[in-house]
Amino acid sequence: MSYETVIGLEIHAELLTLTKVFCGCSADFGGEENTRVCPRCSGMPGSLPLFGRGAAELAIKAGLALNCKINNFSAFDRKNYFYPDLPKAYQITQFNYPICTDGFVDICTKKIRINRIHIEEDAGKLIHDDELGLSLADYNRCGIPLIEIVTEPDIRSAEEAKQFTAAVALALKYAGVCDAKMEQGSLRCDVNISVMPKGSKVFGTRTEIKNLNSLRSIGRAIEYEYSRQTELCERGERVIQQTLHWNDALGVTKALRSKEEAHDYRYFPEPDIPPLFITDEEIKAIKNTMPEMPKEKKERYLKMGLTPADADLLIFDKALADFYDEAVKCYNNPKSVASMIIVELLRRMNDLSLPAAELKITPSDFAELCKMADDGTVSRGAAKDILKQMLEVGGSPMEIAEKGGMLMSNDTSAVEAAADEILAANPKAVEEYKAGSAKVFGFLMGQMCRSLGRSANPAIVKKVLEEKLNS
Binding-site member from 31, 33, 34, 38 for Zn ion (CB under 5 A)? 38
Instruction: Provide the minimum distance between the beta carbon of 263 and ligand ADP in the complex, in angstroms, as a whole number.
Output: 7
Q: Which CB, 237 or 299, lies closer to ligand ADP?
A: 237
Binding-site member from 6, 13, 23, 56 for Zn ion (CB under 5 A)? 23
Q: Which CB, 152 or 223, lies closer to ligand ADP?
A: 152
Q: If contact means CB under 5 to 8 A according to the sort of partner, which of Zn ion, ligand ADP, none does residue 163 touch?
A: none
Q: If contact means CB under 5 to 8 A according to the sort of partner, which of Zn ion, ligand ADP, none does residue 206 touch?
A: ligand ADP
Q: What backbone phi and psi angles, to 5 degrees, belong to 163?
A: -60, -45
Q: Which CB, 260 or 282, lies closer to ligand ADP?
A: 260
Piece in contact with Zn ion (CB under 5 A), picked from 15-23, 48-56, 132-140, 216-224: 15-23
455 membership: H or E segment, kind and range: none
- Cα angle: 217, vertex 220, 226; to 5 degrees: 135
Piece in contact with Zn ion (CB under 5 A), picked from 25-33, 169-177, 369-377, 425-433: 25-33
Q: What's the CA gap between 312 and 368, in Å, rounded? A: 24
Interacting positions 40-79 with Zn ion (CB under 5 A): 40-41
Piece in contact with Zn ion (CB under 5 A), picked from 9-17, 22-30, 208-216, 311-319: 22-30
Q: What's the CA gap between 378 and 246, in Å, rounded? A: 55
Q: What's the CA gap between 191 and 406, in Å, rounded? A: 56
Q: Which CB, 19 or 94, lies closer to ligand ADP?
A: 94
Tell me how crowded residue 53 is: count the other CB atoms within 10 A of its CB. 11
Contact 312, 302 (CB under 8 A): no
The verdict on 7 binding ligand ADP (CB under 6 A) reads yes
Interacting positions 206-245 with ligand ADP (CB under 6 A): 206
Q: What's the CA gap between 232 and 225, in Å, rounded? A: 11
Give the residues across from 11 on adjacent strands.
Answer: 149, 189
CA 251 to chain centre: 25
Torsion from C-alpha of 273, 278, 282, 284, nearest 10 degrees: 140
Q: What's the CA gap between 231 and 229, in Å, rounded? A: 5
Q: If contact means CB under 5 to 8 A according to the sort of partner, which of ligand ADP, Zn ion, none does residue 152 touch?
A: ligand ADP
212 membership: H or E segment, kind and range: strand 207-212
Q: What's the CA gap between 258 and 181, in Å, rounded? A: 31
Q: Which CB, 150 or 232, lies closer to ligand ADP?
A: 150
Q: If contact means CB under 5 to 8 A according to the sort of partner, which of ligand ADP, Zn ion, none does residue 8 touch?
A: ligand ADP
Instruction: Provide the minimum distance between the beta carbon of 179 and ligand ADP in the complex, in angstroms, as a whole number.
Output: 23
Q: What's the CA gap between 302 and 401, in Å, rounded? A: 33
Binding-site member from 33, 85, 152, 326 for ligand ADP (CB under 6 A)? 152
Q: Which CB, 139 or 324, lies closer to Zn ion?
A: 139
Piece in contact with Zn ion (CB under 5 A), picked from 18-26, 176-184, 245-253, 380-388: 18-26
Nearest CA among 310, 313, 311, 317 for reference residue 296: 311
CA 466 to chain centre: 51
SS3 for 100?
A: strand
Instruction: Provide the minimum distance between the beta carbon of 222 and ligand ADP in the complex, in angstroms, as a whole number.
Output: 11
Q: If contact means CB under 5 to 8 A according to the sort of partner, which of Zn ion, ligand ADP, none does residue 423 touch?
A: none
Q: What's the CA gap between 38 and 139, in Å, rounded? A: 10
Sign of CA dihedral 380, 381, 386, 392: positive
Q: If contact means CB under 5 to 8 A according to the sort of partner, which of ligand ADP, Zn ion, none does residue 118 touch?
A: none
Q: If contact means CB under 5 to 8 A according to the sort of partner, which of ligand ADP, Zn ion, none does residue 294 touch?
A: none
Q: Which residues bind ligand ADP (CB under 6 A)?
A: 6-10, 150-153, 192-194, 203, 206
Q: Which residues bind Zn ion (CB under 5 A)?
A: 23, 25, 38, 40-41
